[in-house]
A and B are shown apart, each in its own frame.
Chain A
């Protein structure tokens, strides 16, 4: 068990790049070796963490005896003689960029990706100053149906990174290639929009996109509106992983903790109160650890699945609803913050205020700054709304925070760091490490151990839970009981784990899942990190360092948390705590499709409404024949203008199809043979009685 790997002795080999000797050992491909030699071979489609695709042809090199090859697809071999910049490779690279620019929506000045765009960057670096080809700019429709992600095919260069990310990282495969030749495009199957597919809103597609073709839906302008409105009290929470990635955009080292700078910037931007999501991360641990202890003792609904990651929750609801009972009923820290803020914070705010100064509930606005695009959709869930208002009103990603800082003209590097506001500004190190894969499990184990044993945990740092591996396993002995924990990041890995659990091949007690590689620190709301694996490593180090530097390491030691329970919540998993901090989930395993009207009744007639399911299972069981039989019966009995027939998708009765509903009454196994009986009893009788 654990994560220790045997450090194999690497054999060093040598090859020649542009006449200089370069040593290599286990590099995945020639491209990595060349980069090691200090030459930044350009590429649009290569992503170190995804399968090699070899499509953009930008990384071409000339190899002695083998001619022109894409360096991303070639294994380095000892003695290879490689030339990076030859007449031919330069020509291919430059013209490839020129060709892409000719078919690209070149409104770069107003593009959300401007200055962070690989196409823009490489055309600048390669000195493409003229596009000699006819513009093929298209005006294809932009898909903005998804609450988190915008797909703009006019900016797509078909590098396929999103297709691979969605399929390989998340196992979802929501995006694919369609059409041929210059008509080729990336989009969901059957031309559906991104709202209608199994998207978990994780946004990894946007984080690997080299251009503005897939981008995060921005809420900046709406937040500015709230800030400008003097009536509103705008409260902001900062998620753990935001603090170790924001600095990157301002030239600070990867992983540097800039919480103080972020706080100062947010205050200058005009937020009224600035708090930390780490505080509600601590609160989550209080609830989740208690929930875990109960389940562990009773042996029910194990393993317990963490529920902080909204993409993971969505994934379970859509793909594995049978496992929903395993999911912790705790809201995510973001949503706990929202509900606590709107119930408790408002009262605390008003405590020492005169009657005129009292803040009204409708004037409090909760904004989150998250490393995550799925949080934008999470806050829209109906479970997280009451009386028409959301617990969390707006979610900004780290990238949007960076843009707001720039929009406000703040010199981020040179402002004085400032402190968070109270009361939700105090947090433990356990809350900070939520931003890393393994952090939630580690934080929960620290608390669970002490709660069960009543003893102090010897070693706070549970190192087996740490690191960028997609699967980590650990066993911790609590009072003679082995607690088996699995920590997984990426949903494709999660799916594999669920399959193992299903087959009885895994007997964990607790499973932590984060959808994004490395956890929230690799979230799609963060500045892109695909170019260098080291970025994620440094961010991770930044989070664990913050734990080390924090005097409090356990959520239950957080004095503000203790006070919150004393004053408001009684104890973990109390009735109040349940009302405020817990939620429920829903089976969403169905096809969302438009209802198709097949026949419409005339107005003024006595109308019968029939809905027939044409989902995959019912279709296979003959629902089309049912429709045919029904149509014929209606016609034969002269009822053409009196019956509405609609084809619908999935009534969740798949095993008993074909399903149909007549005037609200459901019928299963309604085959064409049975249709006559149903028709006579439920439709014909209605009209016979009338006449």
Chain B
């Protein structure tokens, strides 16, 4: 037995304050996965080397470089923020560090070239209050991300960390905690949107000698990185959320099931758990109460289906990650057949805010039925991509045009895919629809975990559906027949369509099959796998028909459907192309425009480079 440590928040706060007083001027270097990939650690090292003894303006103010979590604006990384100067530098490289130290830190000079430039106007902005990407966001969950060092418990405590935990342990019964969370309107952020407080009450109500709390951190949707951002940027917030949940449901043991592809998150979680244990926030008799709780980390082996709760439980138990039919629900019989609470990372991360500010305050954000904020991973063809947080009910227009800064190169907006491979697409018609649980479900999409991929007119919607089907098919666990065989046959049909080999009856079969896969599959993966097909068929049926009947890809993406043609206005009738063509598909009279016989053409493209006047193109 390790020696019991009694947590003392007052003392911790005092220590944290001292710690902060000693840091002086903070230079924050974003060390989220995106920025790390762009060289954040090199920059940090350079700052430490060159700026170790630097004092601001050579005055008495010491400089401290701090690695933080994600700022969200990943495509502008590496971010270097200096809050005392109210400035954010973007796209910083290791080679820039010396200049920043010399000019900004030693002399207080703001360097224009590192400021964010608005792509449309070319205007430069100095801080997040001025930058569009940040202006329309509301950060509750991500509040600490980018501001504090995720590897320092002092920084979390300084930001009122573990205050919510102390509050519930000292002032509330577990029932009251469940009630408060229910009242706040917080709903599951992992996709389903089930009221969190209700779920807690179910687990609470099940009598058992042992209960578990599991954090589902197996974020696997292509293009989603919200949970990653939270775990890397503010891991203690997650631990605190789990602790409060464990107290509420009556559990003494928790697991964080995190995908092994998030090594940075795993590392920071491990550090956070160690720190929390050392300070007595985790362990036996926390804050002197009867409540004890420990957390273990279980790294997933890379199966998407393990994000499904019953498969996740099987995986923790050491079995192959395959879902089980529900009922029984995990709340009744979950991990090792004990009542188990499973919530996603973001759900837990909301809990300290709910408790600290109270349910009423929390409900002020979001809509009547969808309270609070939601993080999204905004990617695709918008100007500003990254990790964002907005109140639920924010319109798509606000996200795409204000936060996202509109589409790149001023292209026309076509659609967004929301909710990853389980979600659906939203079109121009939905730009002013509020993004909340009910509205999205109504139009065949879902909040899902929060992937938002913006598409312009150059995106082939059939190809998008094919992409997602390929993903779900290869990630299906193979247990139930509709998912294992059905998604494979859906994919076959979609492949036929993008290759121009499909007939109209194939489209009918695709729709019939999609319906069966949706109705008949065992778990959420299969049940939602047809969504990308069904929703694109709903809104872009013409595009499918163009591929099938016209053998044409309107977006010009599908390689097999491209045709090679000669621009008769440009063609000088030199016949060079005719001589190159391996299948004698090109004919014409000399000095008159030549034509390509599409029946014969094999689309090899050999004629294109030989044309002296660039009259031949593939489209």
Contacts and interface: CB of A to CB of B under 8 A. Distances in A.
Contact of B489 (A52, A91, A134, A158): A134
Which interface residue of A52, A73, A177, A182 has the most chain B CB atoms within 10 A? A182
A495 B325 CA distance: 29
A211 to B, nearest CB: 13
Query: Main SS of the interface on chain B?
Result: helix
B325 A73 contact: yes
A184 B325 CA distance: 19
A413 interface: no
A160 B325 CA distance: 15
Interface in A63-110: 68, 70, 73-75, 88, 91-92, 95-96, 99-100, 102-103
Interface stretch (A53-61, A225-233, A287-295): A53-61
A224 interface: no
A56 B475 CA distance: 18
Interface in B507-550: 509, 512-513, 515-516, 519-522
Nearest to A72: B325
Contacts of A183: 478
B218 to A, nearest CB: 15
Contacts of A73: 325, 327
Contacts of A92: 482, 516, 519-520
B482 A57 contact: yes
A520 to B, nearest CB: 32
Contact of B520 (A57, A134, A179, A181): A57
A133 B492 contact: yes
B303 interface: yes
A182 to B, nearest CB: 4
B76 interface: no
Nearest to B488: A182
B482 to A, nearest CB: 6
Contact of A99 (B303, B474, B486, B522): B486
B447 to A, nearest CB: 21
Contacts of A182: 473, 476, 478, 484-485, 487-488
A410 to B, nearest CB: 39
A179 B303 CA distance: 11
B249 interface: no
Contacts of A60: 520
A177 B520 contact: no
Contacts of A179: 478
A549 interface: no
A485 to B, nearest CB: 33
Contacts of A157: 481
Contact of A96 (B303, B512, B520): B520
Given A102-B485, A103-B485, A180 B520 contact: no
B322 interface: yes
Interface string A640-683: 00000000000000000000000000000000000000000000
B479 interface: yes
Interface in A592-628: none
B45 interface: no
Given A73-B325, A96-B520, A177-B320, A184 B480 contact: no
B164 interface: no
Contact of A88 (B320, B475, B519): B519
A180 B476 contact: yes
Contact of B475 (A57, A158, A180): A180
A550 B171 CA distance: 80
Interface string A109-137: 00000000000000000000000111010
Interface string B406-447: 000000000000000000000000000000000000000000
B520 A184 contact: no
Nearest to B483: A181
B477 interface: yes
A99 B492 contact: no
B115 interface: no
A54 B327 CA distance: 11
Nearest to B326: A73
Given A88-B519, A133-B492, A96 B481 contact: yes
B560 interface: no
B302 to A, nearest CB: 10
Given A70-B325, A103-B485, A180-B303, A95 B480 contact: no
A70, A88, A99: which has the most chain B beta carbons within 10 Å?
A: A99
Contacts of A587: none
B12 to A, nearest CB: 43
Contacts of A158: 478-479, 481, 484
Q: Which 3 A-B pairs have the closest CB atoms?
A: A184-B478, A54-B325, A99-B485
Given A57-B482, A136-B489, A184-B484, 9 more contacts: A52-B325, A55-B480, A57-B521, A68-B519, A91-B516, A180-B303, A182-B476, A182-B478, A184-B477
